[in-house]
Amino acid sequence: MDISAREVLIWLNTLGLSNSTILKLLDYFYDLREILEISGENFLKIPNLKRENLERILNSRSKINVSGFLEDNMKKGIKIITCLDEEYPEALRQIYNRPAVLYYKGDFLDFEPAIAIVGSRKATAYGKWACEKFTKELVELGVTIISGLALGIDSIAHRTALDNGGRTIAILGNGIDIRYPKKNAKLYDEICEAGAIVSEFPPGTQPLSYNFPQRNRIISGLALAVIVVEAKERSGSLITAHHALEQGKDVFALPGNINSIYSKGTNKLIKDGAFPLLDIEDLLEVVGDFRERNQSHKMDEFDYSTLSDIERKIVELVKEGPTHSDMIAYRTGLDIITVNSMLTILEMKGIIKELTSRTYTIC
Amino acid sequence: MYSKISTCVLQGLSGHIVEVETDLSRGMPVFNIVGLADTAIKESKERVRSAIKNSGYGFPLNRITINLAPAHLRKEGSQMDLAIALGILISSGMVDYDQEDTVFLGELSLDGKLNPIEGALPMVLSLRDFKIKRCIVPYDNREECSVIDDMEIIPLRTLREVVDYLKGKIIIEPYKGMGEDSKEKKEYELDFSDIRGQDSLKRALEVAAAGGHNALILGPPGSGKTMAIRRLPTILPDLSLEESIEVTKIYSIAGLLKSKGLIKERPFRSPHHTISAVSLIGGGRNPKPGEVSLAHNGVLFLDELAEFDRRALDSLRQPMEDGQVNISRIYGTYTFPSKFMLVAALNPCPCGYYGDPYHDCSCSPRDIDRYLNKISQPLLDRMDIHMEVLPVKYQDLSRVRKGESSLEIKKRVSMARQIQLNRFKDEGIYTNAQIPNKLIPKYCSLSSSSERIMDQAFKKYKFSARTYHKILKVARTIADLEGKESIMDHHILEAIGYRSLRVKYWG
């Protein structure tokens, strides 16, 4: 038979068997190709194999057409890598329930060092700001940003990485040929160009809610550490953090106000032992400094002496914490017209940043 | 036994003279009206018959034929009653009348009283263009008609008075109106100084009012959006006489003229969000002006913008662009003016708390998308000033200084408007918001340093060419508010602060 074990593995994946079932079969057979010839009787001897899975394999065994499937994907620009391949990422080989087959678009294999950034689908202005800040700093260090292409924090992380010329990898919970969520279709295309889209599910798999939690193990598996930016009390991001801990990765959580619902989950992570992420240096201390590898990074301290008196007054005030423009006007005694134009110029200079409606913070 | 007198009908805002020809002949006593008359006119037979009888005249027992000429013109409205009744009286020899320079307007009640009519002002205005010298109008319409000074307005109360007037039994002086007395200052109950804090929002509204810019205000519930916008009329400049006549005409045909005289305040319309596209734009079998026309020369305020029907919102685009609405019906095309300033307020999501760290937002991302997507791209593009607001906390409220009063702001706004009127007197536009793209370089030129700021901003915020133009127009208004000839750096910087929220919310 002119079929390789790798092709059999891919075939099993397309049948819709769960990853753990495939890994079980991979362990049981010395050569996976035996699966095509083994009699039904002997099949039954395999421990813990569900009858429906068995039937699925037996029924489609005769119709096997892996080369056609591979050709189809090749045409669509979808590449496939399996755990039997040598190029299979070492980082994933180590994790529990490693994905047997991965479909990807773009340039996936060269991704290290990588950090995962995840968070809730709805983000507050604070979460958005922090996510942008840390993503930018990591990208400048040459780090690949890994996330899940969901709305909210995930999208912000991908988007910021792209905008700063960085590499980013999105791990999907659906077939790689489906751009989900629809709103991120453009982001999807851009990530294909400047990074990779990866999925363990065969093309055509619909975005089903129960598939999403398990892709989180790949997100944390690829990364050296996981940053959780914002999470409500019960959030999918906490699953990623959980996987990370199981895989022996470090988890960093962004501390938030204790009365903010979007920081309940992250604050709890910190309480349970995750590192609070106050500064990017915190992360570098724990997971190792990438600076030697990427000399490009150099933080410029802004030279405040070039600012006018009024500008400095405003900057000093904003340094105390996020402040609304009306409050700035009130506390500096300046009129709102001057304050608003100063805020615009300071933002354009990159010294301050609008958090949300006219509330400004230091960059 | 033939007579001919004139009256008037309206098509949209323009009036047409209609000749009422009456012929009495011998035969069976019948009463026919011919010449494309609608129901209200057909019914006038009964009103006319009773009014003549109850005014003390005998209704002729002849074959009565009334022709409304020109016959091709569709006629509607009850203002022809008076002319029809008089035609009969003249034909039967009860009154002598052979002048042609008088037009008769008025609806009759059964006892011979003259009831007020809708659209008296636009009729009288069109009649003036037809060189009509004198017009008989119902007494209750006298105030709105008195706006015109080169035409005799004779207000009369009953059919009997009209007859006596024509016979010369009584002498009525042309009505000249209450004149300047009616120009007393309008007192508003609301004032901008009621609002504590929200300086940025107040300033944004001031700029919008000064340049006639459309404004979009976005913020969670309780942030004072509606409160501030409701005070907008208090800072709008007074209407000029021409504008005032335009507005009064529209209200006259819509039958909304309550004060009877000229409308002196800028209209402020805030229709509820369940409004249909037709009532927003205007229409109906006999087209009436919609909210966009009622807001002509004033403000159309759409609160909870995303709750409006999407079709209704999109129908706003053409009137906003053209400054007028064309409504086509089988019987003709009607044009109503619609130069209004659109001010819209909306929440960031259906529940209002999206992005608020202290409240749980109960909307799914799909709900939020669907909510915001009600507002189409082209509509967003037409909003010059975008402003986001946050609720002011109580602790902050108590220490904020009291703001300026509406009167002070209005002074600046009026001055800025005057500058614009002078500047654009040869261009056929009134405000900065109306500057067409090709004239932007002429009126909104930048110094080299402002140019540099725009360049930087262009890179930083990545805005579109359309946004670029909007910022220039708004900067022009800010400069006008300061009375400055040229646009300076801080004008541009402030204008950039009002740039589009599109990327942030509509991504």
How far, in Å, CA of A182 to CA of A151, rounded?
10
Check residue B419 and give its pLDDT. Answer: 94
- Tokens for A170? 């999105």
| Locus of tokens 């999807």 | A188
Among B203, B401, B493, the residue with its CB nearest the CB of A344 is: B493
Query: From the CB of residue B459, how many other CB atoms can be counted at a distance below 10 Å?
Result: 10
Report the pLDDT value the prediction gives residue A299, as an integer from 0 to 100: 46
Given CB atoms, is A341 within the 8 Å cutoff of chain B? yes
Q: Is A156 on the interface with B (CB under 8 A)?
A: no
Q: Are strands B114-115 and B215-218 parallel, antiparallel or unpaired?
A: unpaired
**Cβ atoms of A156 and A67 closer than 8 Å:** no
Residue B394 lies in a domain: yes
The phi, psi pair for B113, rounded to 5°, reads -75, 150
Report how far residue A209's alpha carbon sits from residue A198's, in angstroms, rounded to the nearest whole number: 17
The CATH number of residue B398's host domain is: 3.40.50.300
Parallel, antiparallel or unpaired: strands B14-25 and B63-69: antiparallel
Q: Quick one: closest CA in A to B361, which residue?
A: A122
Residue B402 DSSP one-character state: P
A340 to chain B: closest CA residue? B494
Cβ-based contacts of A262 with chain B (< 8 Å): 357
A126-148 burial by CB neighbour count: b if 16+ within 10 A, else e? Answer: bbbbbbbbbbbbbbbbbbbbbbb
Chain A residues in contact with B408 by the CB 8 A cut-off are none
Q: Judge: B456–A348 Cβ closer than 8 Å, yes or no.
A: yes
Residues of B in contact with A183 (CB under 8 A): 365, 369, 507
CA distance B80 to chain A (A): 58
- Beta-carbon separation of A263 and B357 below 8 A: yes
Same domain, B289 and B332: yes
For residue B19, the SS3 value is strand
Domain for residue B480, yes or no?
A: no
B474 falls within a domain: no
Instruction: Confirm whether B220 is domain-assigned.
Output: yes
- Give domain A114-287's CATH architecture: 3-Layer(aba) Sandwich (3.40)
Those residues of chain B that have pLDDT short of 70 are 178-187, 259-260, 357, 394-401, 507
Contact criterion met (CB < 8 Å) for B392 and A356: no
Both B298 and B423 in one domain: the answer is yes
Cβ–Cβ gap B357/A126 under 8 Å: yes
Asked whether the bond before A113 is cis by omega within 30 degrees of 0, the reply is yes
Q: Are A312 and A304 in contact (CB under 8 A)?
A: yes
Look at A345 and B493 and tell me if their CB atoms are within 8 Å: yes
Judge contact between B228 and B202, C-beta under 8 A.
Answer: yes
Q: Do B300 and B280 form a contact (C-beta atoms < 8 A)? A: no
**Checking DSSP bridges between strand A168-171 and strand A195-199, what pairing results, if any?**
parallel
Q: Are residues B280 and B382 in the same domain?
A: yes
Q: What is the DSSP letter of A31?
A: S
Cβ–Cβ contact A345 with B under 8 A: yes
Q: Tokens 């890598």 appear where? A: A81
Which among B38, B43, B6 is positioned nearest to B22, based on CA atoms? B6
**pLDDT value at residue B385:** 93
B376 found inside a domain: yes
Number of domains into which chain B is organized: 2
Region for residue A17 given its phi and psi (left: phi exceeds 0; alpha: psi -120 to 50; beta: otherwise):
beta
Chain-centre distance of CA B306, in angstroms?
24
Domain ranges of chain A: 1-75, 114-287, 304-362
pLDDT at A295 over 60: no
- Is there a single domain that holds both residue B222 and residue B166? no
3-state secondary structure A76-145: CCCEEEECCCCCCCHHHHCCCCCCCEEEEEECCCCCCCEEEEECCCCCCHHHHHHHHHHHHHHHHCCCEE
Residues B198 and B170 in one domain: no
Nearest-neighbour CA in chain B from A5: distance (Å): 43
Which CATH class, in words, describes the domain spanning A304-362?
mainly alpha
Distance of alpha carbon A191 from alpha carbon B348, whole angstroms: 28
Per-residue confidence (pLDDT) for residue A235, from 0 to 100: 86
E-state strands within B178-314:
215-218, 268-269, 282-283, 288-289, 299-302
CATH of the domain at B16: 3.30.230.10
Nearest residue on chain B to A262, alpha-carbon basis: B357
Asked if residue B186 is part of any domain, the answer here is no
DSSP per residue, A49-60 = --HHHHHHHHHH
CA distance B443 to B427: 11
SS3 letters for B70-114?
CCCCCECCCCCHHHHHHHHHHHCCCCCCCCCCEEECCEECCCCEE
Look up the domain containing B368 and give its range: 192-428
If asked whether residues B246 and B389 sit together in one domain, one would say yes
Question: Is A330 touching B (CB cutoff 8 A)?
Answer: yes
**In angstroms, what is the C-alpha Rg of chain A?**
24
What pLDDT shows up at residue B394? 62
- Best residue in B195, B196, B201, B203 for a mutation probing chain A (most A CBs within 10 Å): B203
In this prediction the ipTM stands at: 0.71
What pLDDT does A321 receive?
A: 82
Q: Are A344 and B218 in contact (CB < 8 Å)?
A: no
Q: Do B507 and A183 lie within an 8 Å CB cutoff?
A: yes
Instruction: State the best of A357, A361, A363 to mutate against chain B, taking most chain B CBs within 10 Å.
Output: A357
Q: Tell me which of B386, B403, B428 is where a domain ends.
A: B428
Q: Looking at the structure, do residues B284 and B370 belong to the same domain, yes or no?
A: yes
Report the residue of A326, A343, A345 to disrupt the B interface, i.e. the one with the largest count of B CBs within 10 Å.
Answer: A326
Pick from A324, A325, A356: which is nearest to B355 by CB?
Answer: A356
Q: Do B197 and A326 touch (CB under 8 A)?
A: yes
Question: Lowest-pLDDT range, A47-56, A90-99, A224-233?
Answer: A47-56
Same domain for B245 and B117: no
Same domain? B160 vs B196: no
Q: Are A198 and A174 in contact (CB under 8 A)?
A: no
The alpha-carbon gap from B470 to the nearest alpha carbon of chain A, in Å, equals 16
Predicted TM-score (pTM) of the model is 0.76
Q: What Cα–Cα distance (Å) separates residue A10 from each residue in A59, A99, A103?
A: 17, 11, 10
- Return d(Cα B480, Cα B139) in angstroms, integer: 45
Per cent of chain A over pLDDT 70 is 96
Cα distance between residue A237 and residue A242, in whole Å = 9
**B297 and B239 in contact (C-beta within 8 Å)?**
yes
Q: Of the candidates B219, B493, B496, which has its C-beta nearest A357's C-beta?
A: B219
Euclidean distance between CA atoms B183 and B197, whole angstroms = 34
Say if residue B257 is in the same domain as residue B170.
no
Residue A308 with chain B: CB contacts under 8 Å: none
Angle at B112 between CA B108 and CA B116, to 5 degrees: 40
Helix axis angle for A309-319 and A336-348, nearest 10°, is 80
Q: Is residue B434 part of a domain?
A: no
Chain B residue with minimal CA distance to A326?
B199
Name the residue in chain A with its Cα closest to that of B218.
A357
Asked if A308 is an interface residue toward chain B (Cβ–Cβ < 8 A), one would say no
Omega before B337 within 30 of 0, i.e. cis: no
Is residue B462 in some structural domain?
Answer: no
Q: Within this chain, do residues B143 and B274 fall inside the same structural domain, yes or no?
A: no
Asked if B58 and B205 sit in the same domain, the reply is no
Q: pLDDT at position B190, please?
A: 86
* pLDDT at res. A296: 47
Contact state of B199 with A329 under an 8 Å Cβ cutoff: yes
What gap in Å lies between CA A103 and CA B326, rounded to an integer?
Answer: 57
Q: Which residues of B touch A336 (CB under 8 A)?
A: 199-200, 202-203
Model pLDDT for residues A267-292, shown as the tens digit of each residue = 999 999 999 999 998 888 888 777 65
**DSSP letter assigned to residue B504:** I
